[in-house]
Amino acid sequence: MRAVVTGGAGFVGSHLCERLLAQENEVVCVDDLSTGRAENIAPLLDHPRFRFLHQDVTEGLEIPGRVDAVYHLASPASPRDYLRLPVETLLVGSYGTRNALELARRDGAAFLLTSTSEVYGDPQVHPQPESYWGNVNPIGPRSVYDEAKRFGEALTAAYRRTHGVRATIVRIFNTYGPRMRADDGRAVPAFVTQALDGLPLTVTGDGKQTRSLCYVDDLVDGLVSALESGVPGPVNLGNPEEVTVRELALAVREVCGSASPLTFVPRPEDDPQLRRPDISTARRELGWEPRTPLAQGLDRTVAWFRDAASLREEAVPTLAA
C-alpha cells in the first residue's frame, strides 16, 4: 500500500509513519513543520519506502503516482499551538481537509480523518458516545480548533455521500507518549518537564477536571484498524480510564522520582470539566481498545524525555576558555 500521512512529522503522525513502514507500506509524509518537527522523522529519511514533502496542505496536495490511503492528521493540536495559529488551524481544517479528500477521490483511496474529542466541547453527557452532538462555544478562543474539526467531519461526510469517497472519521481523545514537545502546553509534557527540572507542577483550576489518556502506540493501532475497516464512523479512540488532572500530576511526579510541589493556576477559558470516551463502537467495529496501563505509558514517556534532555545537553558546545 502507498499511504500519504499529512501532519506526518508531528507527535502522532511520526509514530503512524513508523508503523506503516513496519507493515511494509510505502509512506509519503507531508508536513509544513509549523508544529511538527523534522527530528521526529529524521531516522526515516534514508528509508527506501519513505518520502518527505515539505508542504502546506492548505495550499494544495499534489502527490505524483497512485495513492492507496490518505491519513489526514495535519493540524495544530495543542491549545498553545492553535491559540498561536488560529486562522491557520481553521484553514487546515477546511482547505486542508478538502485537498486531502480530493487526493483520495482522485485515486479512489481510503481516507481517514483524525477528528478530536474537542468536538464534544465541555460535555453535558458523560462518558461521551459518538451520538452526542456536543456543547461547543462557537466563538470562544478554543473554537478555532473545535470548529475546524467539526467542519472537517461535515466535509468528510459530504464527500462520502456525494462522491463515494471511502472515508472514515475517528475522534481522538487525549494521547501521550514519546515525541511530545516539551513546550506544547499539554498536561503530560508540562508535568514531566517540570518534575524532571525540580519545578512546581502547575495544575490548572482545582485539578478535579478529568482526562482520559491513551498511549500513542495504542492510538496508532486504532488509526490503522479504522482505515482498514472502512467503517464510516465517527469512532471514538481513547482510553475509558478516567483520571483527574491532580491525580495525573501526582502519577507523573512519582514516576519521575520528584519532590516537586503542586501549584494551582487559573484554568483556561472553555476548558472541559469532564473527558472520557465511550469506546463501545471501537470495540465492536474494530476489535480495538487500549492496552497500555497509564503507569507503563508514563514510564516510557518519562524515559524518552530523560533521554531527549541528555541529548540536548550533549549537543551544547563547550566554549573555549
Query: Along the 321 residues of the chain, how does pLDDT read in single tens digits?
Result: 999 999 999 999 999 999 999 999 999 999 999 999 999 999 999 999 999 999 999 999 989 999 999 999 999 999 899 999 999 999 999 999 999 999 999 999 999 999 999 999 999 999 999 999 999 999 999 999 999 999 999 999 999 999 999 999 999 999 999 999 998 889 999 999 999 999 999 999 999 999 999 999 999 999 999 999 999 999 999 999 999 999 999 999 999 999 999 999 998 887 888 899 999 999 999 999 999 999 999 999 999 999 987 665 444 433 332
Give the separation between CA 100 and CA 72, rounded to whole angstroms: 7
Give the distance from CA 11 to its chain's centroid.
7
Q: Computed over its alpha carbons, how large is the radius of gyration of the chain?
A: 19
Per-residue pLDDT, 185: 87
**Backbone angle region of 234, left / alpha / beta, with phi > 0 → left and psi within -120 to 50 → alpha:** beta
Which residues pair with residue 112 across a beta bridge? 71, 168
Per-residue pLDDT, 311: 61
Active-site hit among 120, 145, 159, 215: 145
In-domain check, residue 285: yes
Which residues pair with residue 111 across a beta bridge? 70, 167
Give the separation between CA 102 and CA 168, rounded to whole angstroms: 15
What's the 3-state SS for 59-128? HCCCCCCCCCEEEECCCCCCHHHHHHCHHHHHHHHHHHHHHHHHHHHHHCCEEEEEEEHHHHECCCCCCE
Domain hosting 277: range is 2-179+213-240+273-291
145 included as an active-site residue: yes
CATH code where residue 142 lies: 3.40.50.720
Per-residue pLDDT, 316: 40
Total domains in the chain come to 1
Check: CB of residue 121 under 8 Å from CB of residue 147: no
- Nearest alpha carbon to residue 157 among 115, 128, 118, 122: 115
Show the cell assigned to 136: 461547543
Bond into 317 cis (ω within 30)? no
In-domain check, residue 11: yes
Give the distance from CA 195 to its chain's centroid.
23
In-domain check, residue 192: no
Side chain identity, residue 131: S
In-domain check, residue 35: yes
The H-or-E segment that residue 15 falls in is helix 11-22
Tell me 72's DSSP state: E
In-domain check, residue 26: yes
